Amino acid sequence: MKVFSRTRIWTGVITTFLLALTSNVTEACERQCQLNVSHAFADKYQLLSSLHFSTLSTKIEQSLFHGVPTTAYSSTEATNAIQHLQEAVTKAQRAWDVSLFRTVFDTIFVDKPQFRGDCNEPHRVDQPALGVNWTMTDCHAMDYICGNPPSICHFLPMIKTRIERKLAEQLEIKIGGSSEIVGGGVGENGGGTADEADVYVNFLGPALSKVVMTHPKLEVYQATIHGNLNQILEVVRDQIVGETAYLASGAGPVRNEKWIAEWDLEIKLLLLSFP
């Protein structure tokens, strides 16, 4: 009987010890957390980057036929040509939107310093009970980079700057062929000019060829229209450079004037809702 009582006592002590130990161990932002947080960031940056594609589409409407005699095309032909190129811009934007998620995900969870790894040494926060969210206090307390949601929450300004720097570089190269963010870098196709940029090579260039093919009178002015498109792409790239100049101020967190302050709270609350 005494043996049974001691066994029960020791079992209770061990169970209590294990529960106490487990309650102090924090868990990482797991796969579902990583996916949802990455999508939340990507959705916001999709809204911001769409402005540049809208500018591109507008400038095509305004300047595509600059220097081309009006006798070379009818108003209907001009409208059709512009619409065809604007459809190409829409396709380019969709391709860009698809790439946003991967860029954001990699920036947070793959690129160094990556938000992965143990969050228990040194101890900063206690894992909340099942069904209970992390708090803003946890966000403030988790002051080193690791894999749990409060750590990502704490370093949100740094994460945004990292994402914005990478996206600005990629968007400049995609539209203009080079990036001033990285000191005149070039795109994957080896070019550094607008007509070797992805948007031209894979979208606007083929669309222009089709326009000229279906409107033979424009063939003699193809070089002029091509030059206009180049200038338009360079103008949009310069706009991106101007609007992202704040990223060149150093490695620390910087403020994007177009980022809506409420988005920070939205993303933080999403983060803190994951165990």
pLDDT in the model for residue 181: 55
- List the Cα angle 156/160/166 in 5-degree steps: 145
- Residue 14, domain member (yes or no): no
| Residue 23: pLDDT over 60 | no
Give mean pLDDT, residues 100-114: 96
State the DSSP string of 78-103: HHHHHHHHHHHHHHHHHHHHHHHHHH
Q: Which domain holds residue 213?
A: 30-272
Q: What is the pLDDT of residue 251?
A: 54
The H or E element spanning position 176 is helix 156-176
3 falls within a domain: no
Task: Establish if 230 belongs to a structural domain.
Answer: yes
Identity at 9, one-letter amino acid code: I
Cα separation, 176 vs 201, in Å, equals 11
Chain centroid, CA 100 distance in Å: 4
228 in any annotated domain: yes
In a domain, 2, yes or no: no
d(CA 173, CA 169): 6
Q: Would you state the pLDDT for residue 13?
A: 38
| pLDDT digits 0-9 by tens, 46-100 | 999 999 999 999 999 999 999 999 998 899 989 999 999 999 999 999 999 999 9
C-alpha 115/C-alpha 30 separation (Å) is: 11
Q: Give CA–CA dist 258/141, Å, rounded.
A: 28
Distance CA 72, CA 50 (A): 33
pLDDT score of 152: 96
Q: Tokens 């409407």 identify what position?
A: 61
Tens of pLDDT along 150-201?
Answer: 999 999 999 999 999 999 999 999 998 776 654 444 444 444 688 789 999 9
The secondary structure of the chain in percent helix, strand, coil, rounded to multiples of 5, reads 70, 0, 30
Give pLDDT, residue 89: 97
How many helices (DSSP H) and strands (DSSP E) are in the chain?
10, 2
The better pLDDT of the pair 14, 241 is held by 241
Q: How confident is the model at residue 245 (pLDDT cuts 50, 70, 90)?
A: confident
The model's pLDDT over 138-153, given as tens digits with 9 standing for 90+, comes to 999 999 999 999 999 9
pLDDT at 19 over 90: no
- Residue 244 confidence (pLDDT): 84
Output the pLDDT for position 154: 97
Among 34-38, 124-128, 250-254, the range scoring the smallest mean pLDDT is 250-254
pLDDT tens digit string along 198-234? 999 999 999 999 998 888 888 899 999 999 999 999 9
Q: Is residue 115 part of a domain?
A: yes
Place of tokens 């704040």: 246
pTM of this prediction?
0.81
Please tell me which residue, 19 or 138, carries the higher pLDDT value: 138
The answer to whether position 204 is within a domain reads: yes
What pLDDT is stored for residue 273 in this prediction?
95
Stretch (H or E) spanning 215: none
Query: Is 90 exceeded by the pLDDT of residue 3?
Result: no
Q: How far apart are CA 120 and CA 26, in angstroms?
A: 6
Q: Is the pLDDT of residue 25 over 60?
A: no
In a domain, 119, yes or no: yes
Number of domains in the chain: 1
